[in-house]
């Protein structure tokens, strides 16, 4: 008879090993305590589940009051481009990011999101994105435009 192995959960991980083993990482973790994220869906939730064991806290901005990432961080309920909501998201955050590429570029600019607004803008146009990759020598599958 085989015994079932439990997969380690977040409480059984050992984040102190990471902090104690790398002084540069330790100082980074001390400097970055609150992460703001535009969007509170599945990717935001996974981001927080990875960061919480490292001692990070999360604040999300999402128009849905029942967004799933709210279970692992603070939720600011507002439109992605709502100025007051964006200001509340960024207040006290060491860094702000976004969980998907359809965030309004102006919202990313307002909060100084990482990756920056220009990266977001390039990623919102797949043709421009692929051309940029090719210009940087990054391999891409064959692509082209469709006449509409």
Report whether 76 contacts 64 (CB < 8 A).
Answer: no
pLDDT tens for the 148 residues of the chain, in order:
444 433 344 443 333 333 445 555 555 555 558 999 999 999 999 999 999 999 999 999 999 999 999 999 999 999 999 999 999 999 999 999 999 999 999 999 999 999 999 999 999 999 999 999 999 999 999 998 887 7
pTM for the model stands at: 0.74
Residue spans per domain, the chain: 16-123
Report how far apart the first and last C-alpha atoms of the chain are (Å, whole number): 62
Counting every residue, how long is the chain?
148
**Class of 16-123 per CATH?**
alpha beta
Report whether 43 contacts 73 (CB < 8 A).
Answer: no
Helix (H, G, I), strand (E, B) or coil at 10: helix
Nearest to 61 by CA among 84, 85, 92, 43: 85
Structure tokens at 32: 């970055």
């Amino acid at each position: 008879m085989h015994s079932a192995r439990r997969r380690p959960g977040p409480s059984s991980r050992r984040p102190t090993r990471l902090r104690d083993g790398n002084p540069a990482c330790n100082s980074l973790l001390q400097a970055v305590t609150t992460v703001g994220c535009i969007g509170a869906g599945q990717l935001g939730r996974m981001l927080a589940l990875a960061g919480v064991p490292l001692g990070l806290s999360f604040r999300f901005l999402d128009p849905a009051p029942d967004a799933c990432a709210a279970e692992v961080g603070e939720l600011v309920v507002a439109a992605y481009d709502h100025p007051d909501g964006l200001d509340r998201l960024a207040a006290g955050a060491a860094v702000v990011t976004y969980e998907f590429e359809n965030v309004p570029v102006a919202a990313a600019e307002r909060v100084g999101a990482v990756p920056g607004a220009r990266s977001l803008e390039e990623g919102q146009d797949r043709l421009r994105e692929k051309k940029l990759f090719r210009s940087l020598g990054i391999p891409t599958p064959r692509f082209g435009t469709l006449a509409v």
